[in-house]
Every structure is written in structure tokens, then in C-alpha cells.
């Protein structure tokens, strides 16, 4: 522009400017499209007093105080779509808080039924943000569900366009599900042959030639099965159908344990409840005799209506708990940081049902109703085809997949991948009821070491 020279714009640049301008106008129009109104379109499902609507409902402030946070849930449900929202995060000190915008359905992503189920949009302020994001509004979009590269414009009957990364992801997920199903059904399992009834023998009824067992709790006793073999590392799968109807005071369990004062143990314990109320899944991990690592979950399905697969993967790197192939908990080997990890003691596999009315249901407030007895839990498809059987005489283990103590197949080296972390976080956000690593009343000064070490991606 020096010397008053006129600006000469070459045609490719002019065309580019037109395209960019058109894209910007389209994006701005899309962002501002729709007669949005939070007050009309959302319900305050939690912390109603902490949701303040502004500008006639076109803006909402969610507040977190010492008593409660707030959560909004869309009144409509959606099956595919793009969802845009502008958010300005908490300014200044915000440690311990979480501001979120997400969708949720009744099943985790790895279940194919999700693609035929609508889901809700939720906005939530519960309890970390970074100060540099607090000064401006940021546009946030959800494209279909979670991290899928899948977009749909349903207006005007437009067809669904599936981008190739999403198609590839769906193929991978489908293959993983088929593999998991095949693994769960693999192996010549037989409860009658592979287990001893170490307690309540009369309350263990073997069905289908030993391939299924019913464990019963009555007013006299419960029942416990213990595997005849011991194992040092492995993947342990078991299908369970829990007690139907009234189950308050009862605990149905599946766990591995070494025994002894300094025992190692990994627990699935299902805490019964009154009819119509959900089961609570109580998990715990002991290493070198130290436990008190409780995490609890509500379930996204009815565990009494059908069988579901519960799995414990234990290798030198980590312990991962799964439900129907979905990871719900991980405990990493952090021995380098002074946290004991089970690596030396072989374990038995246990299945049991017992009375724990002093604490199992609502902290022991609701007792077992013995007029509803007997309480029956059913187990099937026990699978340890991917495990290292301990040979006491040799003082070593024989691993499935060959190769002695350091052998085994992919399970021996398995760690959490990106998909596992994503689904684990989904479970934690939507279904975790208690985490010892977040209990400041229990740990007022310092959390256990494994809670402070970042879980991280491996």
C-alpha cells in the first residue's frame, strides 16, 4: 500500500477469501441457529437451586458450592447429531471442580445396541479446569457419541455419512466383541471337577453336567466354592446371574485370593438391595495384606435378568476389572513408587454367597428378610484358559500359550489402550458411586500413594 499503490488481488486468493468468508458465515449461522432456551429445553435433575437461568433462558449459570453442584439434562433424546455449546469455565481457583458437557445412554459404547438407542445431553458442574480457559467463551461440539469420527445431519432426510476412520473403528470393535465372546465360551469348564465346596456344600447345586452351579443362601448357611488349582497371573472370566427380587443383606461374590495374613486379593462383591433398588458392585484390591481400596459402581443393566461376564485380568503390569468386556477399574503396578503389587503369591479362584446384613445394604440399615429365602445366584462359563497354573512341586507356573512363568499370550502383556481409557472414564463418570481415592473424610491429610500417582496411559 506504500505510495498509494492500489491493491492487486490474484484470482486464486480472491476465490480463497470468498470460500473462507462463506465458511465463517455458515459456521456462525450454525452456532447461532435454533431458538435455544435452557429453561425450556432442559431439566435440572440435580442441584436445581444451583442452576440460574439468564437472558430469558438463553444462558444458564451452574454453580458448585460446599453443599452441591448442578446438572441439567435435555428433555429431548437424540439418535445421531451434532451438538454445539458455548462454555465459559470457572475463573481463578478451580481445583477439584469438573465442568462437563456430555451425552449418555443406558449402555456403554462397546455395546452395539447403543446405535439403536437414543441418548440424552447433559451439562454438569460437579467438582479440573485450567485458568487460561476462563477468560473467554469456547465452542464445544459432540459428534454423535464420544470420540467417534461419525457425523450425521438428519435435517431434510439427509443420509448418514460415515467417515472411514469411524468405519474402521466399528470393525475393530465388532472384531473385539466377537473375540471376547469366543474367549468367554472357551475351555472345558466344569465346576464339579474344578472346584471344591469348602463351605455350605449342601447349598451348592451343580447343573448341566457341572457346567453351571447354583449357590444358595438360607438362614442356616451360604456357600463358597474354591478352585482346586492355584494361579500366578491370568485372566479369569465368569458369567453370573444375581439373586432376583429381594436381596437385601446378601453378598454374591467372585474373587481371587492367596490366603494368609499378607494375602493378595481382587474382589467382585455384589451388595444386595430391596426389591426395585439397584445392586451395588463393591470392588477391592489387596496387596501384601493391605486393602481398603474400595471402589463401588451401580450397573447399567439388570444383573438379575440375565447372565453377564465379569473378568479379572492380572499380569505383571496391571490388574483390570471388566464387565462384559468393558473395563471398569485398573490398578497399575507401582512398586517402583512403594505401592505393593501382587506378583509372587499364587491365588485360588472363589465364588460365594453369604449373609452380610451388618453392612451390605445401605450401611447395614436394611437387614436380610429371611422370609424371602432361599436366595440363589447362578454361575456358568468359568474360563481360565488364559492363566498360569501354579505347580507347587516345581515352585513355578505353567502359562496358557506356552513359555513357562514369563509365557502366556497377549493377556500377559496387556495394558490399557486408548479405547480402554475412554470407556473406563465413561464408566467412572456415569456409574461410579464411591472411590476411596476421593474420600477426604477418610483420608483428611494425604491420599494413599497409588491415588496420588497419575494413572496415566501405558
CA distance 1 to 7: 7
To the nearest 10°, the Cα dihedral for 38, 42, 44, 49?
A: 20
Stretch (H or E) spanning 82: strand 82-87
**Strands (E) located in 258-408:** 265-271, 280-286, 295-298, 308-314, 318-323, 326-332, 348-355, 375-391, 396-399
Is omega for the bond preceding 415 within 30 degrees of 0, making it cis? no
| Cross-strand pairs, 83 | 142
Which CATH number does the domain 38-161 belong to among 2.60.120.200, 1.10.10.10, 1.10.3210.10, 3.40.50.10800?
2.60.120.200
- Using CA atoms, how far residue 205 sits from 56, 208, 228, in Å, is 64, 10, 18
Tell me the CATH architecture of domain 189-452.
Answer: Sandwich (2.60)
CA distance 458 to 456: 6
CA distance 239 to 213: 11
Q: State the burial class of residue 416 (Cβ atoms within 10 Å of its Cβ: 0-12, 13-18, 19+).
A: buried
Contact 241, 378 (CB under 8 A): yes
Q: State the burial class of residue 426 (Cβ atoms within 10 Å of its Cβ: 0-12, 13-18, 19+).
A: buried
Q: State the burial class of residue 178 (Cβ atoms within 10 Å of its Cβ: 0-12, 13-18, 19+).
A: exposed
Q: What are phi and psi of 409, to 5 degrees?
A: -85, -150
pLDDT of 104 reads 58
Q: What are phi and psi of 327, to 5 degrees?
A: -70, 135
Contact 121, 66 (CB under 8 A): no
**pTM (two decimals):** 0.64
pLDDT of 360 reads 87
- Measured between its terminal Cα atoms, the distance across the chain in Å is 55
SS3 assignment, position 410: helix
Grid coordinates given for 347: 491365588
63-99: pLDDT as tens digits: 888 778 888 888 887 777 888 888 888 888 887 788 8
CA distance 48 to 293: 33
Stretch (H or E) spanning 84: strand 82-87
Contact 388, 398 (CB under 8 A): yes
pLDDT of 139 reads 53
Q: Which residues of the chain have pLDDT under 50?
A: 1-9, 11, 13-22, 24-25, 28-32, 106-118, 126-136, 141-179, 181-186, 402-408, 456-458
Grid coordinates given for 31: 452456532
Nearest-Å Rg of the Cα atoms of the chain is 27
CA distance 107 to 114: 6
Question: Which of these, 355, 323, 352, 351, lies nearest to 247 by C-alpha position?
Answer: 355
- Active site residue ranges: 265, 269
Question: Which of these, 434, 413, 184, lies nearest to 311 by C-alpha position?
Answer: 184
Q: What are phi and psi of 363, to 5 degrees?
A: 70, 20
pLDDT of 432 reads 96
Q: Sign of the C-alpha dihedral, residues 100, 101, 107, 111?
A: negative
pLDDT of 43 reads 87
- Beta carbons within 10 angstroms of residue 221's beta carbon: 16
pLDDT of 19 reads 44
Give 226-259 as a 3 state SS string.
EECCCEEEEEEEEEEECCCCCCCCEEEEEEEECC
111-151: pLDDT as tens digits: 222 333 345 555 555 443 333 334 445 555 444 333 333 33
Contact 408, 388 (CB under 8 A): yes
Ranges of CATH 2.60.120.200 domains, the chain: 38-161, 189-452
Q: State the burial class of residue 187 (Cβ atoms within 10 Å of its Cβ: 0-12, 13-18, 19+).
A: middle
Amino acid at each position: 500500500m506504500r505510495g498509494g499503490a492500489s491493491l492487486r488481488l490474484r484470482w486464486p486468493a480472491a476465490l480463497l477469501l470468498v470460500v473462507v468468508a462463506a465458511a465463517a458465515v455458515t459456521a456462525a449461522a450454525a452456532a447461532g441457529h435454533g431458538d435455544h432456551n435452557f429453561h425450556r429445553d432442559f431439566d435440572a435433575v440435580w442441584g436445581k437451586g444451583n442452576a440460574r437461568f439468564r437472558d430469558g433462558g438463553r444462558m444458564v449459570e451452574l454453580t458448585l458450592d460446599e453443599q452441591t453442584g448442578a446438572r441439567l439434562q435435555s428433555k429431548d433424546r437424540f439418535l445421531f447429531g451434532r451438538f454445539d455449546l458455548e462454555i465459559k469455565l470457572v475463573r481463578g481457583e478451580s481445583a477439584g471442580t469438573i465442568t462437563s458437557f456430555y451425552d449418555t445412554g443406558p449402555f456403554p459404547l462397546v455395546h452395539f445396541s447403543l446405535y439403536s438407542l437414543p441418548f440424552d445431553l447433559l451439562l454438569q458442574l460437579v467438582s479440573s479446569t485450567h485458568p487460561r480457559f476462563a477468560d473467554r467463551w469456547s465452542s464445544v461440539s459432540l459428534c454423535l457419541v464420544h470420540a467417534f469420527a461419525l457425523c450425521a445431519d438428519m435435517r431434510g432426510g439427509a443420509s448418514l455419512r460415515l467417515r472411514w476412520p469411524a468405519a474402521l473403528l466399528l470393525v475393530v470393535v465388532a472384531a473385539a466383541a466377537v473375540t471376547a465372546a469366543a474367549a468367554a465360551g472357551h475351555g472345558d469348564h466344569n465346576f464339579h471337577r474344578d472346584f471344591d465346596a469348602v463351605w455350605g456344600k449342601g447349598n451348592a447345586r451343580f447343573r448341566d453336567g457341572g457346567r453351571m452351579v447354583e449357590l444358595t443362601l438360607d438362614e442356616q448357611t451360604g456357600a463358597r466354592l474354591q478352585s482346586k488349582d492355584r494361579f500366578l497371573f491370568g485372566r479369569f472370566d465368569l458369567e453370573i446371574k444375581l439373586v432376583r427380587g429381594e436381596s437385601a443383606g446378601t453378598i454374591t461374590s467372585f474373587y481371587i485370593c492367596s490366603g494368609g495374613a499378607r494375602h493378595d486379593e481382587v474382589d467382585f462383591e455384589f451388595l444386595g438391595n430391596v426389591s426395585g433398588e439397584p445392586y451395588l458392585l463393591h470392588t477391592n484390591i489387596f496387596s501384601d495384606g493391605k486393602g481398603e481400596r474400595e471402589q463401588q459402581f451401580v450397573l447399567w443393566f439388570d444383573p438379575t435378568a440375565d447372565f453377564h461376564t465379569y473378568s479379572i485380568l492380572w499380569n505383571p503390569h496391571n490388574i483390570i476389572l471388566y464387565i462384559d468386556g468393558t473395563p471398569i477399574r485398573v490398578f497399575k503396578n507401582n512398586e517402583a513408587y512403594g505401592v505393593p503389587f501382587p506378583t509372587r503369591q499364587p491365588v485360588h479362584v472363589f465364588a460365594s454367597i453369604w449373609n452380610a446384613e451388618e453392612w451390605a445394604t445401605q450401611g447395614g440399615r436394611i437387614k436380610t428378610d429371611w422370609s424371602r429365602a432361599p436366595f440363589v445366584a447362578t454361575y456358568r462359563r468359568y474360563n481360565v484358559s488364559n492363566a498360569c497354573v501354579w505347580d507347587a512341586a516345581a515352585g513355578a507356573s505353567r502359562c496358557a500359550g506356552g513359555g513357562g512363568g514369563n509365557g502366556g499370550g497377549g493377556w500377559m502383556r496387556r495394558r490399557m489402550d486408548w479405547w480402554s481409557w475412554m470407556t473406563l472414564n465413561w464408566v467412572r463418570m456415569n456409574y461410579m458411586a464411591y472411590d476411596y481415592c476421593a474420600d477426604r473424610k477418610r483420608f483428611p491429610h494425604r491420599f494413599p500413594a497409588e491415588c496420588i500417582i497419575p494413572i496415566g496411559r501405558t
